[in-house]
Chains A and B, each alone.
Chain A
Amino acid sequence: MNGFDEEQIGRLLRLLPPAPEGWVRAAQELPAARAALDELVARAEQDAAFRLQLRADLERAVAAAGYEPSPFIVSRLRQLLEAV
């Protein structure tokens, strides 16, 4: 990149407003969600009844198991169930 003047710097800074706080927080919670997902997968592998609950109503089964059915957990579990 070649030297920008002050006006160009201001214009470029305007292009990067903050992302919505909730989006950022959800992305920052991914490591915790990943750990929860691993626990749910382990349980599903060992517990046929839980697998059936997940297939019947994934979000409710996740919540009933004591986890937040975040979009990350729901989408990844759905992918795993479809693959089985």
Chain B
Amino acid sequence: MAVEQTDAQLVSRCRAGDPDAWNEFVERFSRYVYAICSRGFRLAEPDAEDVFQEVFARAFERLSELRSDDAVRPWLAQLTRRLCIDRLRLSARDMPSDAEPDEREADDVLATLDDAMTVRAALDKVGDPCREILDRFFCRDESYRTIGDLLDIPAGTIASRISRCLDKVRSELDGRNRGSGPS
């Protein structure tokens, strides 16, 4: 199993021009940026796509300006947030009936999405097959039968596997909390 890199290690590889690093960077943060656009600010699909591409374009161009490689997740969140608000204000100017973005509500969603990214990072650390099973079940909304067929696992055992995998993710999260110590 490949060792999962920290955000800081990945950013460092991007800066060094590692050709695979940027692909991994987009892969790692694409769900987060997408969720902020679609869940946090409820952008329509074409607007969400524009913001999504602009976030990664700016990230690519400005990664060297990041003060701390560890801070890439909040940096991306703020960048996405700002671009979503700009987009919504532009829409409201074109169509005055559109309400102003509810930034406080969006910020609540962003805080939850930040937790979701922490859980996602723990899942990545646990790795396959748990990562694939939980991703298919929770994130792609696939049925036991579909997962069983795709992964060649008896469908009747999927529920217990999901339960065991969730337990592994919880243990990984608990380990992180113990490891982080008092701040």
How many B residues touch the partner, as a band? 35 or more
- Residue interface bits A12-26, CB-to-B below 8 A is 1, else 0: 111111111001101
Minimum CB–CB distance from B60 to chain A (whole Å) comes to 5
Minimum CB–CB distance from A74 to chain B (whole Å) comes to 11
Q: Which A residues touch B141, using CB under 8 A?
A: 14, 17
Residue on A nearest B138 in the bound complex, by CB: A13
A34 at the interface (CB under 8 A from B): yes
A56 at the interface (CB under 8 A from B): no
Question: Is B26's CB under 8 angstroms from A9's CB?
Answer: no
B41 at the interface (CB under 8 A from A): no
Given A3-B177, A18-B139, check contact A24 B113 (CB 8 Å).
no
Minimum CB–CB distance from B104 to chain A (whole Å) comes to 18
Question: Is B118's CB under 8 angstroms from A1's CB?
Answer: yes
Q: Which A residues touch B139, using CB under 8 A?
A: 13-14, 16-18
Give the contacting residue for B120; candidates A6, A16, A20, A28; CB below 8 A. A16
Q: Which B residues touch A66, using CB under 8 A?
A: none
Give the contacting residue for A12; candidates B56, B116, B163, B177; CB below 8 A. B116
Interface positions of B (Cβ within 8 A of A): 19, 22-23, 26-27, 30-35, 39, 49-50, 52-54, 56-57, 60-61, 112-113, 115-120, 123, 134-135, 138-141, 163, 166-167, 169-170, 173-174, 177
For the A-B complex with A14-B138, A15-B112, A17-B141 known, give 7 more contacts whose Cβ atoms are closer than 8 Å: A4-B170, A4-B173, A9-B166, A13-B120, A20-B49, A27-B30, A71-B53
What are 29 sample pairs from A and B whose C-beta atoms fall under 8 A apart? A1-B177, A6-B163, A6-B167, A6-B170, A9-B169, A9-B170, A9-B173, A10-B134, A12-B116, A13-B116, A13-B123, A14-B141, A16-B113, A16-B116, A16-B120, A17-B34, A17-B35, A18-B31, A18-B139, A18-B140, A19-B30, A23-B49, A23-B53, A27-B57, A28-B22, A31-B60, A71-B53, A72-B57, A75-B54
